[in-house]
């Protein structure tokens, strides 16, 4: 079949950039470009975050690239299975191979869509028949200013800018020190509610650098619930099932977590533990779109909520929005609210919140145009 395009070229493009949404800390991502013999190009990304994990992922992708040449990119799920099999020794239950597979898988879905003229959402199936499905959109933020009044004003503006609410990551870079002082944390959420109004969705996300005891977490979450907290994310480490169970006995808010899992095995465990209501999943980590679709099936079967952990580039966001729109078990789409290079420079039509929601990309593949000059500009 001479007409079937095959994979002609696989290249890997690591970048580093200052992230305005994270107090301008340096972040690292790994992009993959896959070109077919008929000239179509697909893009994928892994959210590798750190220099060492980025270097390692680059090398793994280079190691897998030769075997991709000559394959039919429309047989992408078969290729996904082959890579899982090929990396058996260093991918069991997670690791850098999952970053590599994620980037390759996303690029192959993009390429397949471009070759066949289908958008990702057409290929994976939309959750409803509406011609204009829109997903409620949330500002996913970190706080860093030591003066929390400044942070309250900043978050009030996100509501005015068209977000339904915000999720605040604590224990991050900067001087905000939210998550350390119980009384101060309680006042902060009270002030946020007063500024954002009664309808705004407010979520709090602990962050792994903070260590909370069960008792102080109960006190914190109960006080936040008085401000109509929508969910608390990772209040404990993912494996501290007993802590979650104790917290559950004293609170009613939703518990979110899961973003540190790598594959269906890890997700099966946290889902079966019964500790979470909202399952976070990063498409640039959990074996790509193909991996995430499997996790969505687990979430749907358990009657939980799926949440895309899309805190990365526009490649990741494009795939994430389609995944969100594919399942009725999704409440919202997260977006980084401050302009940043990997969302606003990388593509010509950046994703934006409009009146509290965001549309689903409908052009072929991921539906975005990646500017390669931007990848060169931020090359790592
Ligand atoms: Mg989180």
- What residue ranges do the domains of the chain occupy? 7-117+373-377, 123-371
Query: What is this structure's pTM?
Result: 0.97
The Å distance, Cα 233 to ligand 1 centre, comes to: 6
In this model, does residue 342 exceed pLDDT 80?
Answer: yes
Q: What Cα–Cα distance (Å) separates residue 56 from each residue in 20, 59, 87, 366? A: 25, 5, 14, 26
The Å distance, Cα 61 to ligand 1 centre, comes to: 26
Top-level class of domain 7-117+373-377: alpha beta
Per-residue pLDDT band for 96 (boundaries 50, 70, 90) equals very high
Q: Where are the alpha helices (DSSP H) in 69-213?
A: 76-86, 88-91, 96-116, 120-124, 148-160, 182-196
The Å distance, Cα 353 to ligand 1 centre, comes to: 20
With a CB cutoff of 8 Å and minimum separation 6, the contacts of 273 are 241, 244
The Å distance, Cα 258 to ligand 1 centre, comes to: 9
pLDDT at 142: 96
CATH of domain 123-371: 3.20.20.120
* Residues 136-140, mean pLDDT to the nearest whole number: 97
Q: Can you read off the two tokens belonging to residue 186?
A: 């309680």
Per-residue pLDDT band for 110 (boundaries 50, 70, 90) equals very high
Per-residue pLDDT band for 126 (boundaries 50, 70, 90) equals very high
The Å distance, Cα 118 to ligand 1 centre, comes to: 32
* Residues 299-317, mean pLDDT to the nearest whole number: 97
Per-residue pLDDT band for 4 (boundaries 50, 70, 90) equals confident
Q: In the predicted model, what is the mean pLDDT of the chain?
A: 97
pLDDT tens digits, 181-204: 999 999 999 999 999 999 999 999
What percentage of the chain's residues is helix, strand, coil (to nearest 5)? 45, 20, 35
Q: Please tell me the distance from the alpha carbon of residue 108 to that of residue 264, in angstroms, as a whole number.
A: 20
Q: Calculate what percentage of the chain has a pLDDT beyond 90.
A: 97
Q: Please tell me the distance from the alpha carbon of residue 233 to that of residue 246, in angstroms, as a whole number.
A: 15
* Residues 235-253, mean pLDDT to the nearest whole number: 97
């Amino acid at each position: 079949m001479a007409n079937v395009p095959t994979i002609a070229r696989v290249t890997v493009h690591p970048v580093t950039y200052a992230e305005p949404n994270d107090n301008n800390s340096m972040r690292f991502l790994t992009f993959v470009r896959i070109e077919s013999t008929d000239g179509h190009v697909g893009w994928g990304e892994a959210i590798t975050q750190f220099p060492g994990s980025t270097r390692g992922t680059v090398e793994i992708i280079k190691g897998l690239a030769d075997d991709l040449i000559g394959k039919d990119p429309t047989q992408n799920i078969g290729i996904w299975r082959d890579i899982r099999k090929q990396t058996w020794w260093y991918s069991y239950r997670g690791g850098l191979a999952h970053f590599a597979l994620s980037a390759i898988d996303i690029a192959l879905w993009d390429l397949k869509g471009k070759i066949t003229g289908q958008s990702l959402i057409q290929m994976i199936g939309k959750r409803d028949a509406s011609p204009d499905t829109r997903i409620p959109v949330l500002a996913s933020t970190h706080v860093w200013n030591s003066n929390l009044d400044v942070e309250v004003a900043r978050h009030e503006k996100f509501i005015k800018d068209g977000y339904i609410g915000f999720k605040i990551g604590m224990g991050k870079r900067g001087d905000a020190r939210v998550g350390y002082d119980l009384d101060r944390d309680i006042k902060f959420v009270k002030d946020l509610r007063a500024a954002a109004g009664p309808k705004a969705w407010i979520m709090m996300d602990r962050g792994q650098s903070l260590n909370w005891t069960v008792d102080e977490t109960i006190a914190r979450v109960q006080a936040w619930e008085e401000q109509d907290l929508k969910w608390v994310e990772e209040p404990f480490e993912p494996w501290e099932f007993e802590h979650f169970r104790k917290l559950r006995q004293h609170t009613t808010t939703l518990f979110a977590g899961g973003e540190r899992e790598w594959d269906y095995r890890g997700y099966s465990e946290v889902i079966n533990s019964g500790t979470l209501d909202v399952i976070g999943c990063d498409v640039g980590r959990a074996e790509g779109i193909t991996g995430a679709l499997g996790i969505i099936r687990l979430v749907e079967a358990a009657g939980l909520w799926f949440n895309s952990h899309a805190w990365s580039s526009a490649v990741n966001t494009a795939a994430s929005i389609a995944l969100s729109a594919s399942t009725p078990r999704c409440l919202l789409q997260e977006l980084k609210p401050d302009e940043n290079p990997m969302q606003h420079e990388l593509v010509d039509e950046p994703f934006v919140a409009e009146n509290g929601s965001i549309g689903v990309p409908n052009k072929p593949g991921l539906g975005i145009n990646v500017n390669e000059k931007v990848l060169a500009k931020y090359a790592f």
